Structure 1
Amino acid sequence: MFFLPAIQGRFPVGVTTFVSPVQRPRPIGTVKLRSPPTGSTRPNNALYLEEVAFTAYYPADTTSKPITKGVDWFIRPVKESLQGFSTFLGFSSWLLWPIVYFFGTLVKIPAYPNAPLLDPKNATVASENQWPLVIFSHGLGGSRTAYSQFCSRLAASGRVVLAVEHRDGTGTVSMPRSWNIDGEKSKPRTLLYLRESDIHWDDDSDSIKTAPFPLRVEQLAFRHHEVYITYNTFHKFIHNTPGTHLETIDGTHFDRKSWGLDEATEKPFVNCDENIVLAGHSFGGCTVLSILSSNPSDEYDRLPVDKAIILDPWLEPLPAPGPFPMKSGGNNVKENNIADFVSSALEQNDIVPSATPAHPRMLVINSETFTLWKDHFARLQEIVKGWEPNGRRIVTLVGSKHTSFSDFPILPIISGKTARNIFNTIADVSVAFLDNRFEEQLKDAKIVKMEPKIIGVKKDGKPRRKLAGAPGDVIVE
């Protein structure tokens, strides 16, 4: 057995994966599968919303009974995960099998499976005896465990983090099920990473097909529903709302009472009512920006977001210019109508950033790779000005890559000191931002100027550039 690096922080971390049925299962968008699943009786829509899943990382009570540390890092079943990685990477499953077998069966997250939630009264750092809530969105090829180190670091600092498993074809694999009114579940269907060759649109879908990255636009709409449903379901669960259907993904027992209300004050142990945080990497960062800059559909209330952490966001699927903070009193948009969803985002162009924003505070942490993407970075700077007009909210780490925010560079056997140091800086800066000591944290970092230098020539003849400085040095914009 091999463990990912030990989790730094004040509290031991518990990990529990929950699932809940969608009360009104339905297709999202108009994209269709070229080859429907064998034996499927539902519509041939590529994006079908029927069940949400999310992994909770949280401060754990490890004193109540002996609990063995070690949570499977690889999504089960391993065979289906192998298919998912093969599809995502475009490699033969036979070539990937030895790697998948090793990491899939032997690597563990150093956390406690299904441990009870620690009573916040027993932790002096918990605000008003409640744990703050964070919702995390993964990137393309990611999963609910692919960012376990980042989510665990936030949890170890005294937060409950819900890592959504996006079942929109952007993850390597997911296994959604249908639920009937009696709570009975169908056998899971295997949903692998969706490629352009797997999908098509009907002829009457010209409005969406003309949008940039049309599949990603529809997946964004799907992700909106997943984030809102995850929040609403967890909110009801924490408030002991009758009729809330929530269970572990594999049917194992968990201490439901530890997640409930304080018997003395009847205050929930997790603060879902205000000051929640949205976080995400890559397409997940794109998802966070999209949610924060557009109205929810009529079936959802706006999320009470106080802060956002956006890791190496991929901006291209979003309408430009923007996205910018929502105007107050905006009209709601039906997210299932993708054309309205896109036009709503375009209507935000006339927003004038306020000097004292009433919208969520934002921190963006960029990789060197994305910062050197000149046009993309210039757009990111304009976007962040709309949220943080006083600046100093884009941090770039010298030597970092797009994968540096995930677990992949720090897996056992293959990880190196540089990758671990870069990840630790990402986590430390993120926690400091949430704890309102961001500027203080920067004093302990080595700050360097933005100085790209040419180090060679790419295959296309364009100059190959690198940021001046040592790996892990910090650039603040």
Structure 2
Amino acid sequence: MGGTQSLALPPGKGPHQVGCADVMVGHTRQGLFLRLFYPCLPRAGAERPLWIPRYEYYRGLADFTRRSRLWCAPLFSIAIGSCKVPVSWNGPFKPCSSGYPLIIFSHGLGAFRTLYSSVCSELASWGFAVAALEHRDHSASATYFCRAEAGREEWIPYQRVPQGQKEFYFRNEQVHQRAEECVRALRLFEDISSGKSVLNVLHQDFDLSELKDSVDLTKVAVMGHSFGGVTAVLALVKEPSFRCAVALDAWMFPLENALYPKVPKPVLFINTEKFQTPESIAKMKRLSSRNSQTKIITILGSVHQSQTDFTFLTGKLINRFLGLRGTLDPYKGLDITSRAALAFLQRHLSTAWRGGHVGRGLGRARELPHLQGAAGQPLLPWAWVWCFPSRCTKQRGLVAAPPLCLEPG
């Protein structure tokens, strides 16, 4: 397959059309930068945003992958530069009197706000407002903020662990900054909901005041991938308003041991088959042993990048460099991930949702049923997931997904 083939990202499958807008507040590093995915009204001829919005991000990806900017950035641009996200750019917000639940999403190491557009738009299509952060702790491949002077941008590059410094202490400092940025994102939505005027320094067409009275701040979750997964766990410690967390293939290394007993809310760990280590799983089990609602599942046939947009790249060129796919079809992988996350979120954000945002289309999926194992024996009580489609076809209105295995305990 040629290197000019582009990325085809899947649209959300839920009942809502999805819009997105970029939001930047503040003129310093202490501000925030995020991409907001939200249910929107239909609009004829809606513009679709580029997946990689600026050439500087290609340079950042080259730096992160330890390849030359000189040839790698143009290669990325040729291979995926034409890819667009199947959402309505600055699309008209769809009001909701009962309020959409809110998810704060944290990206992984070397990623940025647009690289999880598939999962974010899928969740938004089921009636969530999803704020995908771009962290400013030097863990993004690239990011920037706008100085108060008109037109002046300051870019924040990806930074590796400084020579002579232990990685844990460097990453631990970063994960605390990231979690605090998640909390600040929540504060931003609280300001908007209270009617406070919030200036989007990017001066885009999307009016943030339209979110007032349409986001339910009693139903807020935090979610993330890899470094963002452990960020989500830590955010539960820092902010009591976060009611639960979904951690996609969480990189548990940067979290200090003393904080594990302090995680107060349930976490859904959705792991891939090829990334986690016994030590990392043991850390997750420390949380599940303290909270019976914390669950750990593993998606067979998946790799670490299966939970990012990169898994949908066509052709062999980019995959040859980055190893972005496992044996599981990426569309099936996204379906498993989103269905597990939606069921968990619906369970822990509310028992009875007004307006039927998430419930519509998911049947009676208030919780996942206990299923049977290979020999027809009931699985243990921790088996709160879909298992094998050859043995489980359909129960309680929810179709069984492709293979999952669950880490007990």
- Once residues 191 and 120 of structure 2 are traced to their aligned partners in structure 1, the CA distance between those partners, rounded to angstroms, is 22
CA contact (8 A) 1:57 1:155 kept: yes
Is 2:26 aligned against 1:21? Answer: yes
- 1:277-296 aligned at under 5 Å gives the runs 277-293=221-237, 295=238
Distance 1:172 1:108, change over 3 A: same
Query: What amino acid maps onto 2:296 in structure 1?
Result: I
- Once residues 99 and 64 of structure 2 are traced to their aligned partners in structure 1, the CA distance between those partners, rounded to angstroms, is 40
CA contact (8 A) 1:71 1:109 kept: yes
Query: What amino acid maps onto 2:67 in structure 1?
Result: F
Residue aligned with 1:109, SS: coil
In structure 2, the partner of 1:407 is: 309
In structure 2, the partner of 1:314 is: 251
User: Would you say how many aligned residue pairs link Structure 1 and Structure 2?
Assistant: 352
In structure 2, the partner of 1:254 is: 206
Query: What amino acid maps onto 1:389 in structure 2?
Result: S
2:338 to 404, 427, 433: 427
- Once residues 259 and 191 of structure 2 are traced to their aligned partners in structure 1, the CA distance between those partners, rounded to angstroms, is 33
- Once residues 97 and 390 of structure 1 are traced to their aligned partners in structure 2, the CA distance between those partners, rounded to angstroms, is 44
In structure 2, the partner of 1:60 is: 40
CA contact (8 A) 2:368 2:386 kept: no
Distance 1:390 1:288, change over 3 A: closer
- Once residues 186 and 441 of structure 1 are traced to their aligned partners in structure 2, the CA distance between those partners, rounded to angstroms, is 55
CA contact (8 A) 1:74 1:103 kept: no
Query: What amino acid maps onto 1:66 in structure 2?
Result: A
Query: What amino acid maps onto 2:101 in structure 1?
Result: P
In structure 2, the partner of 1:174 is: 143
- 1:389 Cα shift? 2.7
- 1:383 Cα shift? 2.4
- 1:103 Cα shift? 4.4
In structure 2, the partner of 1:245 is: 199
- 1:95 Cα shift? 3.2
- Once residues 128 and 85 of structure 2 are traced to their aligned partners in structure 1, the CA distance between those partners, rounded to angstroms, is 18
Is 2:12 aligned against 1:7? Answer: yes
Query: What amino acid maps onto 2:275 in structure 1?
Result: F
- Once residues 285 and 162 of structure 1 are traced to their aligned partners in structure 2, the CA distance between those partners, rounded to angstroms, is 15
- 1:380-395 aligned at under 5 Å gives the runs 380-386=284-290, 388-389=291-292, 393-395=295-297
1:377 to 235, 260, 281: 281
- 1:322 Cα shift? 5.0
Distance 1:289 1:446, change over 3 A: closer
CA contact (8 A) 1:237 1:246 kept: no
CA contact (8 A) 1:4 1:412 kept: no
Residue aligned with 1:132, SS: strand
- 1:365 Cα shift? 0.5
2:128 to 151, 159, 165: 159
Query: What amino acid maps onto 2:311 in structure 1?
Result: P
Query: What amino acid maps onto 1:189 in structure 2?
Result: E
CA contact (8 A) 2:260 2:286 kept: no
CA contact (8 A) 2:37 2:129 kept: yes
CA contact (8 A) 2:105 2:131 kept: yes
In structure 2, the partner of 1:465 is: none
* % identity of equivalent residues: 25
- Once residues 173 and 390 of structure 1 are traced to their aligned partners in structure 2, the CA distance between those partners, rounded to angstroms, is 36
Is 2:156 aligned against 1:191? Answer: yes
Structure 2 residue runs of 5 or longer lacking an equivalent are 1-5, 317-324, 348-364, 372-384, 390-400
Q: RMSD across aligned C-alpha pairs, in angstroms? A: 2.6
Query: What amino acid maps onto 1:234 in structure 2?
Result: F
- 1:238 Cα shift? 2.8
- 1:94-133 aligned at under 5 Å gives the runs 94-121=70-97, 129-133=98-102
CA contact (8 A) 1:51 1:177 kept: no
CA contact (8 A) 1:154 1:431 kept: yes
- Once residues 59 and 364 of structure 1 are traced to their aligned partners in structure 2, the CA distance between those partners, rounded to angstroms, is 26
1:367 to 262, 272, 277: 272
- 1:185 Cα shift? 4.8
- Once residues 335 and 370 of structure 2 are traced to their aligned partners in structure 1, the CA distance between those partners, rounded to angstroms, is 13
CA contact (8 A) 1:132 1:160 kept: yes
Distance 1:67 1:50, change over 3 A: farther
Greater Cα radius of gyration, structure 1 or 2:
1
Distance 1:377 1:256, change over 3 A: closer
- 1:91 Cα shift? 0.7
CA contact (8 A) 1:69 1:110 kept: no
- Once residues 3 and 402 of structure 1 are traced to their aligned partners in structure 2, the CA distance between those partners, rounded to angstroms, is 19
- Once residues 403 and 421 of structure 1 are traced to their aligned partners in structure 2, the CA distance between those partners, rounded to angstroms, is 14
Residue aligned with 2:84, SS: strand
- Once residues 226 and 137 of structure 1 are traced to their aligned partners in structure 2, the CA distance between those partners, rounded to angstroms, is 9
Distance 1:285 1:2, change over 3 A: closer
- Once residues 60 and 333 of structure 2 are traced to their aligned partners in structure 1, the CA distance between those partners, rounded to angstroms, is 28
Structure 1 residue runs of 5 or longer lacking an equivalent are 26-48, 122-128, 201-208, 261-267, 296-301, 327-358, 449-470
- Once residues 424 and 189 of structure 1 are traced to their aligned partners in structure 2, the CA distance between those partners, rounded to angstroms, is 38
- Once residues 219 and 96 of structure 1 are traced to their aligned partners in structure 2, the CA distance between those partners, rounded to angstroms, is 27
The ranges of structure 1 where at least 4 consecutive aligned residues each deviate by more than 4 angstroms after the TM superposition are: 412-417, 441-444
Residue aligned with 1:189, SS: strand
- Once residues 328 and 230 of structure 2 are traced to their aligned partners in structure 1, the CA distance between those partners, rounded to angstroms, is 30
CA contact (8 A) 2:298 2:405 kept: yes
Residue aligned with 1:323, SS: helix
CA contact (8 A) 2:229 2:247 kept: yes
| Deviations 1:449-473, CA, capped at 9 Å, x for gaps | xxxxxxxxxxxxxxxxxxxxxx941
CA contact (8 A) 1:14 1:115 kept: yes
Bigger shift: 303-312 or 436-445?
Answer: 436-445
- 1:291 Cα shift? 2.2
